[in-house]
Every structure is written in C-alpha cells, then in structure tokens.
Amino acid sequence: MILNRKSFLTALFTSVCSFTLSAQTAPPVPGGSIEIRSDSAAIQETLAYWTTARRAAAVARDTAIDPRSFVNVDIAPASLPKTAPVVSPGAPPAAGVSIKAMALEQGRELDAFDAGREQSLRTDSTNEAATEPTAAGIGIGETGFTYPQPFTRFNVLADLYKSGGKLMTYPYITVGKLFFTLGNSNYVCSASVVRPHLVVTARHCIFNYIHPSGGAFARNVVFYPGYYYGPNAALGGGWVARRLATWVGNAPNFRYDIGFVQLFDNDQRGCGGSAGGRPIERYTGYLGYAYGGDYSKRQFNEFGYPAAAPFGGSAMVETEAATGELNTFGMADTVETGSDMTGGSSGGPWMIGFAPGGGGYVNGLNSFKWVVPDHANAMNSPQFHDYNFYQLLKYALGLAC
C-alpha cells in the first residue's frame, strides 16, 4: 500500500453500520458496536479480567505509520473554511472531587507555573522517563515549524490526578488509560471524558480498521481515569464500555482516527444515570471540545500515558507544543507537533484553552508517528472538523442508554 502525496478528497457520512460489516462503497461510514456487556455479572467479569498482571503486560498500541503501507482512498470536501473553530464547553465534576490545584486564577496557562514545579515533577518520575523539559529543533516552516519541531514534555504532578492526591483537579482527572483486547492480544491506550458518559480516543484503540470495510471492534474495554500506578478509587476505578462508535468503512486515512466509548454507570446497568446509577462525569467532569477552523497556528497541551520505551506507562505525561506542519507527506487534514510520546499514548487528548481548575477543549488526539522518514520526535493528530469529528460525535451521542 503506497501513500499518495497529493491532496486528499473530503468526507461526508450518510449511513450507519453495525458490529458485523458487509462490503461498503464510498462515502465513509460511522458505526457503533452492539451493546458489549448487558448484565452485571458479565461486566464484573470484564473488570475482573484486568488484573494487575494483565494491565502490566498489556501491549502499548503502536503509533508508528510507514507511508508505504498506507491506502489513500476516500471521498471528501476539496477545501475547508478557515474560520474560528466551533466550541462547546465542558463541565467539572458535580461535587466533591475537583479541588483547585493552586493559587491559579481560572483561565491562566501553565507557562509560568512549569518552572516552579520542575523539581516536584522529578520526585514523581519513578520508573518513568526523565521529566525535564525536552526541546527539539526550531526551524520555521510555512505553517509554523519544520521537523524536528520544538516541544516541552514532563510528567504531570501526581497529586493533580492520583487517588488520594491532595490537589486532585479537573481537567486532569478526565484523562486516563484505556485497556482492551483485539484478537488474542491485550493492549493499552489513552483516552479522556469528553461528554457525559462518553470518552474520546483514537479509532485504532477500539477498532482494527481493515480497508475497505472490514475490521473488528475491541472487547474487554475498560477506562481508568486518573490512573497512577493503578486504578483511582476516588474516580470510581474502572469503567466498562457499553458501546463503541468509530469510522468503520471506506475511511483508511488517519484523519478518521477518532473513536468514542460509551460507558456504563457505576451500577453496571444503564448509562448517564438512566438506571439510577452514577455516571463517570459525576466523578471526573467532562472536557469541552472544538472543531473546524484553521489549524496553522494553534497551541496544544497534549496528554497521554506513553508505555513503550523509554516510558513506563504508569503516570500521566503532558506535552506543550504548537502546530508544526499540516498534512505531512500528503496525509490530509492532519496536524503534526513536536512530541516524543510513544505507544500507549494513542488517544490521549490535545487541548486548546487548557487551564488547571478551569478546563480545556479537546481539539485533537495522539494518533500516529511517521517512520519513513523517521519523525520519532513528532506526533500527528486528525484535524477535528465537522465531517470527521462532529458527525461521529453526534452519532455517539445518539446511542441510547
């Protein structure tokens, strides 16, 4: 499979398809799984499946893409308007969980704060990669920077999200680890709560896409918000997937590498409080989202749990970066920034307007790295637009509880 380095066509969605897929023709098709687990006993089995040993042995879902193996076929709009993004705000937890981190006024960025907390971050780096800020090159390109792009990366202060953390704070507590089984292998990715009882992650973390309309959904899908060397009891521990939603047909491009997971409530029956249980957003709150507009000049706070070497996967990592390149090597409607996160970080959110204690808007996610040529110190995300992000989000929000 060869990467075509011309501009891609654009995408529209017209129909829905179920867990079992038949051959499809264009346009791309969003789809959701059947209800994965329908009774409390089965859900408890899923939670019991993810023992400490299985979580530790889960394989970091790879982010590496060889352009020579890439299929460039789909249908899409020839151009997208460069307007301001459409935004929808998030919300903190209902009560009792979010404690404002420090004496930071709401809406302030972390820039000045980072220097003062570097020493604290180092004390939380047990078995993880070094937490000192890491910078790459600073070449200026047409859309910002050429590879290698600059970035700063550090471990998030553990007290901001771990169980028992004295500073446990929204929106950090919306981010967590996603464990799942594909085929006969157990994997791990990252994800975040983006709407009530709904998390966003990368498509390749819940569906092994096979062009043009094959593939299969993951099973044993469990999300652990605020994971720090284990589940966070204060945030409800593990939350079992009820339904999955992603692009399942005629959408090989990584601009479609977006997926949503609908979660059961803590009573393992309904979702969104439909059966009287407590939904995940009561514990974590949920993030805002933004889509559309011009991606050429954006600042991102990127989060994830990189688990492949040199990282250990047990602590949350944050990268601060800006738009480096758009549509690298012809992969349309994608954006690349500096980042040395590795496998396991897939699906972790890229936020704009990030503010500790205030929130942030998911505007991308850790999706893939180029390996030919080697862009090990850069991460790519789909650009979130109406056709690839919002249409899928509407589909996911429409899944009944």
Q: What is the pLDDT of residues 238-279, one digit of tens each?
A: 999 999 999 988 888 899 999 999 999 998 888 988 888 899
d(CA 99, CA 392): 33
Sign of CA dihedral 272, 275, 276, 280: negative
**What token pair was written down for 69?**
């193996």
Average pLDDT over residues 123-152: 49
Evaluate if residue 179 carries a pLDDT over 80.
yes
Q: What pLDDT does residue 110 have?
A: 30
- Pairing of the two strands 59-60 and 185-195: parallel
- Of 4-8, 31-35, 219-223, 237-241, the least confident: 4-8
Average pLDDT over residues 29-44: 67
Banded pLDDT at 333 (limits 50, 70, 90)? very high
Q: What pLDDT does residue 24 have?
A: 31
Q: What pLDDT does residue 27 have?
A: 61
Banded pLDDT at 373 (limits 50, 70, 90)? confident
Q: What pLDDT does residue 304 have?
A: 98
Query: Could you give the count of Cα atoms lying within 13 Å of 329 in the half-sphere of its Cβ?
Result: 22
Q: What pLDDT does residue 136 have?
A: 34
Q: What pLDDT does residue 256 have?
A: 92
Residue 389: phi, psi to the nearest 5?
Answer: -100, -60
Q: What is the mean pLDDT of the chain?
A: 80
Q: What pLDDT does residue 76 have?
A: 61
Q: What is the pTM of this model?
A: 0.82
Evaluate if residue 7 carries a pLDDT over 70.
no
* Helices and strands in the chain, H and E counts: 5, 22
Q: What is the pLDDT of residues 44-86, one digit of tens each?
A: 899 999 999 999 999 999 888 776 777 666 666 556 666 778 9
* Per-residue CA distances from 294 to 49, 173, 303 (Å): 43, 29, 22
Closest alpha carbon to 243 in 388, 30, 22: 30
- Pairing of the two strands 198-201 and 259-263: antiparallel
Q: What is the pLDDT of residues 125-139, one digit of tens each?
A: 333 333 332 333 323
DSSP of 284-317: H-B-EEEE-S--SS-EEEEEE---STT--SSS-E
Residue 186, C-beta contacts closer than 8 angstroms, at least 6 positions apart: 54, 57, 58, 59, 179, 180, 220
Contact yes or no for 259/396 (Cβ under 8 A): no
All domains of the chain in start order, with CATH: 46-397 (2.40.10.120)
Q: What pLDDT does residue 3 have?
A: 27
Amino acid, res. 374: D
Stretch (H or E) spanning 352: strand 349-355
Most confident range, picked from 32-46, 63-77, 111-125, 158-172:
158-172
